[in-house]
Structure 1
Amino acid sequence: MSMHRKTITLTEQQDDWVKGQIESGQFGNDSEYIRDLIRRDQQAKERLATLRQALGEGESSGKPKPLDISAIKAAGRKRMKAAD
């Protein structure tokens, strides 16, 4: 994977925060910290897209049915017994 150099501007408070993250030993340098932030943002966006897709599928799946807690518990117990 090729690397690209970027120049960013931070406030003093933000720069102090980044330095603190590095001094804590979690990251080796500024670039590692920024790349971690980007990865986390990408993952959060992917989770949100998956959730939105699931919500859309649920909304378009038809009319809702009444919730039967007893049946849900019974099905769960059956699965637990089958797993043993």
Structure 2
Amino acid sequence: MPDPMKEWIEAQVEKGEYASASDYVRDLVRRDRERRGREFTMDELRQLVANSRASGIGARSLDDLFAEAEHIAATREGIRE
């Protein structure tokens, strides 16, 4: 592993973010597995778009949609920490 990466991991351990370098790597693997589990194929994305178009115009305002998106992002950030 390149020295800058080792130094980064060591810094995270020193800050108390992780108990050890192994703990850090395990967390990275766990996060990657979670992320990959949420990926969509192009066919799935096309179907989502088609379903969205077929459902028509929604009744919620952009402010409501952005507020919901911010809430979801904040919740996900809390899970990652």
TM-score (norm 1): 0.54
CA distance, structure 2, for counterparts of residue 18 and residue 11 of structure 1: 11
**2:6 alignment partner AA:** D
**Structure 2 segments unaligned to the other structure (5+ residues):** 61-81
Choose 1 or 2 for highest CA Rg: 1
Q: 1:25 pairs with 6, 16, 23, which one?
A: 16
Identity, % of aligned positions: 26
Q: 1 CA distance for matches of 2:22 and 2:33?
A: 16
| 1:64 shift after superposition | 2.8
What residue is the counterpart of 1:43 in the other structure? 34
In 2, Cα distance between equivalents of 1:36 and 1:65:
39
- Which residue of 36, 50, 58 corresponds with 2:48? 58
Unmatched tracts of structure 1, length 5 or more: 1-9, 74-84
Aligned CA distance change for structure 1 residues 13 and 65 (closer, same or farther; 3 Å): same
Q: Please tell me the residue identity of whatever aligns with 2:48.
A: G
Question: Scaled by the length of structure 2, what TM-score is found?
Answer: 0.56
Deviation at 1:49, TM superposition (A): 3.7
Number of residues of Structure 1 aligned to a counterpart in Structure 2: 59
Q: 1:58 to 1:16 in 2, by over 3 A?
A: same
The residue number in structure 2 matching 1:7 is: none
Q: Higher helix fraction: Structure 1 or Structure 2?
A: 2
Query: 1:49-74: per-residue Cα shift (whole Å, max 9, x none)?
Result: 48x74x2543565x73542x4xx24x
